[in-house]
Amino acid sequence: MRGLDIRVAFVMAKLALITDPTKEDLFFVLMDAQAQGWYDEQAGETLPVMFADEPMLREAWMLGAKSAEIDDEIASCDCCNDGTGDPCPLHD
- Show me where the domains of the chain are located: 4-69
What's the mean pLDDT in 10-24?
A: 94
CA angle 27, 33, 1 (to 5 degrees): 135
pLDDT tens, residue by residue, 73-84: 888 888 877 777
pLDDT tens, residue by residue, 29-60: 999 999 999 999 999 999 999 999 999 999 99
Residue 78, pLDDT score: 82
Residue 87, pLDDT score: 79
pTM here? Answer: 0.87
Tell me how far apart the 2 most distant CA atoms of the chain are, in Å: 53
Helix (H) or strand (E) holding 46: none
**Spatial separation of the C-alpha atoms in residues 34 and 58, rounded to whole Å:** 9
Binned at pLDDT 50, 70 and 90, residue 64 comes out as very high
